[in-house]
Each structure stands twice: as C-alpha cells, then as structure tokens.
Amino acid sequence: MGPGGDRRHSGGCQCGAVRFAVATLGRASICHCRMCQKAFGSIGAPLVTAHGLTWTRGAPRHYQSSNKVRRGFCADCGTPLTYEYEGGIEVAIGAFDKAAEIAPVIQLGIESKLPWADGLAGLPTRSQAEAAKVAGFYASVVPRQHPDHDTAEWPPAKDEQP
Ligand SMILES: [Zn+2]
C-alpha cells in the first residue's frame, strides 16, 4: 500500500487462515474480567472497538461465552479475535498488524484483576548469561506465523519466504 493508499487497519490470526481489515478504530481498552482472562488465556483482554470490520480471508468461529456475548477465534490456530455484543464488536489488539500503535486508554473489570498484574513492568528480565544459554534455541526457530501484513497467498509456496 503506497502513500495515500489503503489506510485500513489490517490484522489476523497467528496461522493466517483468518485476516481482517477495520475502517475506523474506537476506544482501546484492557479488560481484566475473569471471562476475558479465560478467553485469552492471559492476564486479560486488550481490545479495541472496530467500526467497519471486514473479513478479508476466512472467518472466525464463535463461542457464545454468555447470553450477551460471543467471542470469535481462529478455528485452525486458536487465536482470540473478537468480542461481539449487541452494542458492537471489539477486536483483539494483539491480532492487528500494527498492534504497537493501538494503546489501551482504560482498564475494565478491575474487580477481577490478577493480583500480580500491576507488577509485571517491574519484573527483572533475562540476564546476558541466561540469554546466551537460550540464544541457540531462538536462532534455530523457523516461524510459521503469518507476517504482519496482508499476503496474496498463505501459506507461501515451499520455496518462498514470508
Ligand atoms: Zn489461525
């Protein structure tokens, strides 16, 4: 997409079977409620309101997590993708190609916040010695994850690189 071209917010699941585009983003949040913890298998759910969402490849499967809400996910790789209710649809921030540009502006469901969630930023990181021990493993990893941009075809032919 060149200058002045497509300004959509694109994204998709880890395996690339499901891809989407959003015309306009609304409020970005992180929900700490217990249902979002389960649905994301994580500390909670970073989500952004999506206006003008289209599925550009495949489509999610859904789990009706309550009488009011269903959650979309990739049936092939399991990536959480949506939170859908009568008021609209929210999309998982981490699924966007440019997730770094979508910062939550509010926390929700804080009554269920995990007691250690607020301490994450203060945790130590790997020492150089520890990092050196695992460097070989990471150097040997060949990712199969879909790249952070739209592709004409996926997975690529065997000789092509993503
Ligand atoms: Zn997938």
Distance from residue 81's CA to the centre of ligand 1 (Å): 10
Q: What confidence score (pLDDT) does residue 3 get?
A: 43
CB atoms within 10 A of CB 149: 12
Residue 139 lies in a domain: no
Query: In total, how many domains does the chain have?
Result: 1
Query: Tokens 């306009």 — which residue?
Result: 24
Domain containing residue 31: CATH number = 2.170.150.70
Residue 131 lies in a domain: no
Predicted TM-score (pTM) of this structure: 0.91
| DSSP 3-state percent helix, strand, coil across the chain (nearest 5) | 20, 35, 45
Residue 140, SS3 per DSSP: helix
Residue 82, SS3 per DSSP: strand
Distance from residue 138's CA to the centre of ligand 1 (Å): 22
Distance from residue 126's CA to the centre of ligand 1 (Å): 30
Domain range for 81 is: 9-115
Residue 138 lies in a domain: no
Distance from residue 75's CA to the centre of ligand 1 (Å): 7
pLDDT along the chain (162 residues), means of 10: 62 98 98 98 98 98 98 98 98 98 98 97 95 95 95 81 58
